[in-house]
Amino acid sequence: MPFFAHIDLFSEYRRIFYALDNDIFSNTHRVVTFYIELIFAWLMQIFVPISEATFYLPDPSKSTASNQDYLLFLQDPYIYRYLFFFKLPYLLFDLAVAWVIWNFMDKAEHKRLAVLIWLFNPLTLFATYIFGRFEVFSIFFLAVTAWQLKSHRIFLASLAFAISLHCREINLMFAPFLLLAVIDFKDPVWRNLMVLGLCACIIFVVLLLPDWLIPSFGNTNLFVDPSQNFQHDATQKLFSLGYYWFYPIIFGLVGVAVYNWESSAKSHAERFIISAALALFVYFAFNVHSVHYASWLVLFPILSIHYNKHVIVPFLVLFIVWVLMWLLKTDAGVFTPFLAAPLSPELIGTGHFPSYFNEKLATPSLSLGRAIEIIRTLFAASMAFFAIRLIKS
Amino acid sequence: MFNTLNVACLALLFISGVTLADVEDSGLANLSSGFTELTSNSAEVTGADPYVVLPLRSNLAVNYTAERRLISLPLQITRPEPAQLQDVVSGELFYKLVGDTLQFDPKFKIRFRFPSEKFAKISIEIADTLNLNVDSLRLDFDNCDACIVSYGTHFQLNERQQAPTENVGSSITPYRTYNGVNELEGTSQSIEPTRWQLNDFKQENRTLSVNGGDPYLISPALDTNTDDLAGVMFNLKRVDQISSIHVGDFQDFQLFYSSERSPFLERESLVFRVAKTSIEEEFSQFKFFIPLSFLKIENHDVLEHLRLDFASHGITSSNHLLSTSWKFIDASLVPQQDVEEYAKIQPIRLARHSSKTFSKRRFVSNTFNRLSNDWGFVIFYGLGLLLLSYYMIRKLIRSKHTG
């Protein structure tokens, strides 16, 4: 926990200490994540002296740390304390997710299996304790959403889901499935419309709440680069579906929505959990993004154990393929000694598997690029395997 | 096949007398182990550190005068396939022995680049200040892997003005001449601010305004012996135009060095963060000392140049740097005996980019040193892990017994 970190963890806490140092309590994106980390950072000052020089951030709109900033951070004599306390909220939320999973399950054998998979799966262990990312906050609120749905507390579930949106925006992908899942086909239409409307209102209001309650920082949100606006190429591409992977994902998500609608006999929670899991399988079949994003994949299949889904083999396949894929499709911050740079900065730039592959294993017919294509196909196949296991009654 | 053809061509050239003229056979050339001899006057570069030691024509050492400013080398280099000709072949000519030994002194040498076109003889211009008074020279070849070098038996000295072109061959002006080194001998030596080269700075009335994305300063040639060198001190003032909260409390820099062993290298540079020393009206002063005693430990005998980069913060945040102006007050090389005085103004954070090569032993000692910075935490964490493991194992054993 205190001996590994990706540069992003430092960037994240540099922003936090900037806000703390300058008493800025303004609106920012992922506001729940930000303020959870801010509270923990404020408390950690009891145990570790915070060096102004280490976390110096002259321009908050350019808050992503450079390698040079990171190298100077690694020289801080309290580096291990920092990393431990940075990840402490992640550990607590990790345990809280385990607690929610335990309470979600009814059968003792399901409880044990689900918590074991949650606590010891390589995806969340890597994302949380090696890479050092806050995914577990969002996962916690999604777990609470599912738990509340199972307990028929639909409005509390909507509230938890809305909070999760302030941890990770990608969760918006699950919103249609949550709304479809709250429909009770035995109830009259007007009642369903009322429930749906209320749920949508809760999500919408909570989503906008920070904008109403928390003052903004100048003309833009804190730590947002003003140049990254709607004129930006990436934004334009996103809204014009310029990314090649967008089309199959949208087709897939529509299919998941149809499945949700057609599974009217199943409970609210089961429909939401299976649909959310399927949505993620569709997403990751076409787009793998960064290594730690795969940790999103873990929660919903674990919860599906409650519905007697057989997920152990698909999980094993996923873990193996995920490791193989990121060994090949790696960069400095993935499965490389860079992550252990807090132990010794000398590890930065000591090489990674792709260079070994190119040197020793690559052949004219199996280049690194081809190997990545093959493993990505296998990753998509593992998603399909998981999906089948979850759809099967 | 390629080698055989080349050797044959070279042999023909030499037989026809194109390359070897005006030399007397009164001595023999010595080759280093970086060469494999092909014929009596040609060899191929097959190993590290290829060089040839050639005697001067005996009468010329005696007849050396101020007018004779060209060293003529009967020499031909044939490089391998054109696809591999990426780097220009460069040469180093050592011209002074260490005392009475047969070792050439690395502090006295001439560095130059060989012409890219074919040549049979080259002449190297000697600086007017150079006192060349030896009877042999050593010529080292860099970036010349698998080259085939044909050489005569002697060098000779020619007069710059009067030498006929065919005797002189391609004339080369060296890009660097080392004529001994500067010794600190216990006193700080100022490096005059006006002698530093500027990059992405505009100078007006001794004020340097950043006008580009990569502002840095390059020192004049220092050629300083590192035996007594403790480090370098900079004294800079920033003309503050920054109004945001806490912006400008610190400034990041990067220091590159070049020595007789290496040019400026990113991976060996030092990065550091300096806090304001003082604030005077519209100025913030940054006075800091960067230790360079590691140069001697890492076998860099001569510090040649320094380069001070003004680094920006964050991946794309060069905007605040672009709006700054600086006054370069002073810089000086500091000897070992003054190190205690200057240690007080070392940067708050200082790091070396990374070492040349990764070594397991260095990694272990490095890790141990870093852990020892905060024993309190390491013991707390270690004990915590031990207790947790003990608790879990006990739980496991108990559940097995009850099961």
CB proximity B252 to A under 8 Å:
yes
- How do B250-259 and B35-39 pair as beta strands? unpaired
Residue A57: give the domain boundaries: 7-84
Contact call for A72 and B378, based on CB within 8 A:
no
Task: Kindly report, residue by residue over A17-58, the tens digit of the pLDDT.
Answer: 988 888 777 777 788 999 999 999 999 999 888 888 888 887
Of B358, B370, B374, the CB nearest to A343: B370
Nearest-CA distance from A73 to chain B in Å? Answer: 8
pLDDT at site A194: 92
pLDDT at site B99: 75
In chain A, the number of structural domains is: 1
- Label residue A332 by pLDDT band (50, 70, 90): confident
- How do B170-172 and B121-125 pair as beta strands? parallel
DSSP A41-93: HHHHTTTSPPPTTTT--S-TTS-SPPHHHHHHHHT-TTHHHHHHHHHHHHHHH
**Best mean pLDDT range from A241-255, A301-315, B142-156:** A301-315
CB proximity B197 to A under 8 Å:
no
Same structural domain for residues B200 and B236?
A: yes
Residues 339-398 of B with CB under 8 A from A: 348-351, 353-355, 358, 362-363, 366-367, 370-371, 373-374, 377-378, 381
Q: Do the domain assignments include residue B403?
A: no
Query: Above 0.95 for ipTM, yes or no?
Result: no
Q: Which of B243, B244, B245, B310 to mutate to test the interface with A (most CBs of A within 10 A)?
A: B245
In chain B, the number of structural domains is: 2
Of B349, B355, B367, the CB nearest to A75: B349
Residues of A in contact with B271 (CB under 8 A): 68, 71-72
Does residue B48 register a pLDDT over 50? yes
Does residue A230 register a pLDDT over 60? no
Same structural domain for residues B109 and B76?
A: yes
Q: Do the domain assignments include residue A263?
A: no
pLDDT at site B73: 79
Same structural domain for residues B169 and B238?
A: no
Residues 232-251 of B with CB under 8 A from A: 242, 244-250
Task: Kindly report, residue by residue over A112-138, the tens digit of the pLDDT.
Answer: 999 999 999 999 999 999 999 999 999
pLDDT at site A52: 85
Query: Between A and B, how many residue pairs show a Cβ–Cβ distance under 8 A?
Result: 115
Nearest-by-CA chain B residue for A345: B354
pLDDT at site B356: 54
**Residue B60 · residue B157 · CB < 8 Å:** yes
∠B28-B177-B105 over CA atoms, to 5°?
Answer: 50
Does residue A327 register a pLDDT over 50? yes
∠B209-B215-B217 over CA atoms, to 5°?
Answer: 95
pLDDT at site B108: 84
Same structural domain for residues B175 and B209?
A: no
Q: Do the domain assignments include residue B284?
A: yes
Same structural domain for residues B173 and B234?
A: no
Q: Average pLDDT in the A240-261 region?
A: 83
- Label residue A229 by pLDDT band (50, 70, 90): low
Residues of B in contact with A65 (CB under 8 A): 314-315
Same structural domain for residues B61 and B153?
A: yes
Residue B275: give the domain boundaries: 189-357
Residue B224's CATH number: 2.60.120
Nearest-CA distance from A131 to chain B in Å? Answer: 19
Q: Do the domain assignments include residue A390?
A: no
Q: Which of A3, A91, A346, A347 to mutate to test the interface with B (most CBs of B within 10 A)?
A: A346
Structure-model confidence comparison of residues B248 and A330, the more confident one: A330
Same structural domain for residues B13 and B33?
A: yes
Contact call for B313 and A69, based on CB within 8 A:
yes
- How do B90-94 and B136-142 pair as beta strands? antiparallel
- Label residue B8 by pLDDT band (50, 70, 90): very low
**Residue B210 · residue B325 · CB < 8 Å:** yes
- Label residue A105 by pLDDT band (50, 70, 90): very high
Does residue A88 register a pLDDT over 90? yes
pLDDT at site B242: 54
∠B238-B239-B244 over CA atoms, to 5°?
Answer: 95
Rounded Cα distance between B378 and B365, Å, is: 16
Rounded Cα distance between B180 and B178, Å, is: 6
Does residue B276 register a pLDDT over 90? no
Residue A350's φ and ψ, nearest 5 degrees, are -90, 15
Q: Do the domain assignments include residue A204?
A: no
Same structural domain for residues B118 and B193?
A: no
Q: Do the domain assignments include residue B376?
A: no
Collect all residues with Cβ–Cβ distance below 8 Å to B15 and sequence separation of at least 6.
none
pLDDT at site B39: 84
pLDDT at site B7: 44
What three-state secondary structure class fits A344?
Answer: coil
- Label residue B30 by pLDDT band (50, 70, 90): confident
DSSP A262-321: H-TTS-HHHHHHHHHHHHHHHHHHH---SGGGGGGGTHHHHHGGGGT---HHHHHHHHHH
Q: Average pLDDT in the A182-188 region?
A: 88
Task: Kindly report, residue by residue over B329-375, the tens digit of the pLDDT.
Answer: 899 999 988 888 888 888 888 787 765 566 788 788 888 888 888 88
Task: Kindly report, residue by residue over B260-272, the tens digit of the pLDDT.
Answer: 888 888 888 888 8
The overall average pLDDT reported for chain B is 77
Same structural domain for residues B346 and B205?
A: yes
Q: Do the domain assignments include residue B205?
A: yes
Q: Which of A52, A62, A224 to mutate to test the interface with B (most CBs of B within 10 A)?
A: A62
Q: Do the domain assignments include residue B389?
A: no
Q: Do the domain assignments include residue A288?
A: no
Q: Which of A69, A86, A217 to mutate to test the interface with B (most CBs of B within 10 A)?
A: A69
- Label residue B280 by pLDDT band (50, 70, 90): low
pLDDT at site A146: 96
